[in-house]
Amino acid sequence: MKETGWKKTAGNGSDGKRTEGKKSFGRGEKTTGFSKNSAKVGVNGEKQGKSARKVSGVEDKWGTHGDRKRNVGEKDGQKTVRGGQRGKTKCPIYRECGGCQYLHLTYDQQLKEKQKRMEELLGGVCPVRPIIGMEEPYHYRNKVHAVFGLDRKNNPISGIYKEGTHRILPVDSCLIEDQKADEIIVTIRSMLRSFKIRVFDEDTGYGLLRHVLVRRGFHSGEVMVVLVLGSPILPSKNNFVKALRKLHPEITTVVLNVNDKKTSMVLGEKETVIYGKGYIEDTLCGCTFRISPKSFYQVNPVQTELLYGKAIAYAALTGNETVVDAYCGTGTIGIIAAKSAKKVIGVELNRDAVRDAIGNAKGNGVKNIRFYQADAGEFMVAMAEQGEKMDVVFMDPPRAGSDEAFLQSVIKLAPKKVVYISCNPETLARDLGYLTKKKYKVTKICPVDMFPFTDHCEVITCLQRVES
């Protein structure tokens, strides 16, 4: 593999990985590196470049995708798999959206392709364990975004941006999005005329409703609706919420977000809660986490439990270790690991994320964890200079990977183990090349399919310090 250089900006999670509301869901992200022609995938596996949202279908009629279950382990041609055969798909905007690069493959074929790519990228440093796939690789996204606009007949539409344009492709349902979230978006669109709410026109700058964001707790069932407006006033907002909740009583909170700037960002800075508590909660690995409109939270809860569980298992905590959770975001990994460690230190540059992390720790009654707002690399260098000893470092960097300064800080702190959770296998390969030259040996590599039907893959890697 051709190694790429470090970016100077690839620091401590302040580029949008941890506060995903700050960035557009559709443009400007780094590609996965799987294919030069592949569509882009965002910090959370959002399919990008070709759309702000995901590939869709109509009324959940997926043709060969609709009624067959995956049976792992059978030979191709004999297995029953939810997924069309190569080159066949019933998605009406498959090529225009471009988000599901592997939609034409059966799910077992997707896993084989990802396994092959991981072995090509990473197999030279350590044998790659079998990829962890999903039993039901559909409707896994608990976060759904739709952009609103007008068609040529001046009727309101909602959906995704076509690649390279701001032309909206209408979408009512998508095979990887939460079905209830899709239904809520369609309902909101149907209510606009009766409440005389105009959608925003990007060309003229007139109109009100720009986007709708829906987040749903997988275990709690709580639902948050975020209405992104071009101005701060929503006419008859109380009646609108009442009518919406009459059709969807599962909605537990509604937030108005104001984005009055000409920008590709989805969410603006100002927010007003007009119903409920302004956030939802969900359970992950036995801990409860608060999810606000801008919170970073993995969008595939089923696979996230497996991802974090595997990462903590690789750390092999006994209750006596001191752990650093670098790029800790809202504290998910550190809080979960704290149950099995003596002490956990979370470090994150983003102030809002640190605030949420502290709240999450208090909410779970976790007392052996402390969070610091700082650059993780600088923080760890200071710890090393003060003679502090760490047993394990968890690192879950943004797509750009870690910069050289951070990796040098890991070397200086010299933990016994490093558990690296990567959302970009190419930058992982680069970073492993550096660490393995500095007294670390890769002992385990395991891919996890967090985003079926896309070419994106997360990887957990365990490194052990060797003295000789």
**13: region left, alpha or beta (phi > 0 left; psi from -120 to 50 alpha):** left
Residue 358 burial (CB count, 10 A): 16
User: Token pair of 408, please?
Assistant: 């040098």
Q: Is the dihedral of CA 346, 350, 356, 359 positive or negative?
A: positive
Angle at 77 between CA 73 and CA 83, to 5 degrees: 80
Q: Which residue has the tokens 């009512």?
A: 172
| Bridge partners, 464 (sequence order) | 417, 441
| Bridge partners, 157 (sequence order) | 149
Residues of the chain with pLDDT under 70: 1-90, 468
User: Token pair of 73, please?
Assistant: 């382990």
d(CA 175, CA 124): 36
Q: How many CA atoms lie within 13 A of 418 on its CB side?
A: 28
d(CA 90, CA 55): 11
> What is the radius of gyration, based on Cα positions, of the chain?
22
| pTM more than 0.85 | no
d(CA 172, CA 182): 6
Which is it for strands 343-348 and 369-373: parallel, antiparallel or unpaired?
parallel
Residue spans of alpha helices (H) in 123-236:
179-191
Taking alpha carbons only, the member of 428, 368, 419 closest to residue 393 is 419
b vs e for 185-201, b when ≥16 Cβ sit within 10 Å of the residue's Cβ? beebbeebeeeebebbe
Query: Rounded to whole angstroms, what are the CA distances from 99 to 37, 90, 161, 324?
Result: 12, 15, 11, 35
d(CA 188, CA 210): 12
d(CA 340, CA 320): 8
| Bridge partners, 214 (sequence order) | 144, 225
d(CA 162, CA 428): 31
Nearest 10 degrees: Cα torsion 10, 432, 453, 78: 180
Q: Which residue has the tokens 């007003």?
A: 272
Q: Catalytic residue, from 100, 174, 285, 423: name it.
A: 423
Which is it for strands 143-150 and 209-216: parallel, antiparallel or unpaired?
antiparallel
Task: For the chain, give percent helix, strand, coil, nearest 5.
Answer: 25, 25, 50
Q: What is the DSSP letter of 43?
A: T
* Residues 17 and 401: beta-carbon distance below 8 Å: no
Q: What is the DSSP letter of 61?
A: B
| Bridge partners, 460 (sequence order) | 421, 446
* Residues 145 and 25: beta-carbon distance below 8 Å: yes
* Residues 259 and 25: beta-carbon distance below 8 Å: no
What is the pLDDT at residue 311? 96
User: Token pair of 144, please?
Assistant: 């759904």
User: Token pair of 353, please?
Assistant: 């994320």
d(CA 305, CA 301): 6
Taking alpha carbons only, the member of 313, 321, 317, 354 closest to residue 443 is 313
Taking alpha carbons only, the member of 333, 331, 340, 339 closest to residue 372 is 331
Give pLDDT tens digits for 328-369: 989 999 999 999 999 999 999 888 889 999 999 999 999 999
Residues 6+ apart with CB under 8 A from 407: 431, 434, 435, 438
Q: What is the DSSP letter of 138?
A: S
Q: Which residue has the tokens 């007392």?
A: 367
State yes or no: is 174 an active-site residue. Answer: no
Q: Is 365 exposed, middle or buried (0-12, 13-18, 19+ CB in 10 A)?
A: exposed
